[in-house]
A and B are shown apart, each in its own frame.
Chain A
Amino acid sequence: GAGVSQSPSNKVTEKGKDVELRCDPISGHTALYWYRQSLGQGLEFLIYFQGNSAPDKSGLPSDRFSAERTGGSVSTLTIQRTQQEDSAVYLCASSLSDGIPYEQYFGPGTRLTVT
């Protein structure tokens, strides 16, 4: 079946502009996660959704970052007034709530470059 998809695959934006990143999880997966990965680094957790609610937003680095999920499916991550330090690959993952613990399925990511 279809895996997790993300769009766009690449995004180049100017400093100060807003960007929206989209994630389509695997059908039936109620849990959805956003991470980001800077060049050569490990993954940094941003936010976790269970259905449409976000019980854990602890990883959002600032109030410029927000995310929503509608219909228990698609999620968008919005970064307002982008800064150069926001440049990274943004990864989305989904999982079954009652599946194997920590078995998450990752999308290919969106590479964000802020110039």
Chain B
Amino acid sequence: LAKTTQPISMDSYEGQEVNITCSHNNIATNDYITWYQQFPSQGPRFIIQGYKTKVTNEVASLFIPADRKSSTLSLPRVSLSDTAVYYCLVGRGSQGNLIFGKGTKLSVKP
């Protein structure tokens, strides 16, 4: 799995849009980019996955530039309940173990 780099922490306020960027310079041709969310005392939860351009679901959007060396998770209008750790993972398109870094701890304030 390709190494990823993301900010250790971010602060935001309710109602704002939050963008978390992940760098993955060594991404391989057939690697997917996957984001997970983890609340305290819970297991991680799959949020979104993409390969290129833009992916959107009911929770978030994922923006991937043409060179795929980075990706940005966008959370629209965050609320207090979005306070969590967000992990960026990069790996090839097959099942296998996940390698999580320390993630980005997002704190949403009122």
Contact = CB atoms under 8 A, between A and B. Distances in A.
Given A101-B91, A101-B94, A102-B32, A45 B99 contact: yes
Contact of B95 (A45, A97, A106, A109): A97
A101 B95 contact: yes
B42 interface: yes
Interface in A31-66: 31, 33, 35, 41-43, 45, 48, 50, 56, 59
Contact of B98 (A4, A99, A104): A104
Interface of B: 32, 34, 41-46, 49, 87, 89, 91-103
Given A48-B96, A100-B49, A101-B49, A107 B43 contact: yes
B43 A108 contact: yes
Nearest to B42: A108
Given A41-B102, A56-B96, A95-B95, A109 B89 contact: no
Contacts of B103: 42
Contacts of B92: 101
Contacts of A41: 102
A102 B91 CA distance: 8
B101 A42 contact: yes
A77 interface: no
Contacts of B96: 48, 56, 102
A101 B99 contact: no
A85 interface: no
A33 B93 contact: no
A59 to B, nearest CB: 7
Given A93-B43, A104-B46, A106-B44, 17 more contacts: A42-B102, A42-B103, A45-B97, A45-B98, A50-B95, A56-B96, A56-B97, A91-B44, A101-B34, A101-B91, A102-B95, A103-B34, A103-B49, A106-B43, A108-B41, A108-B43, A109-B41
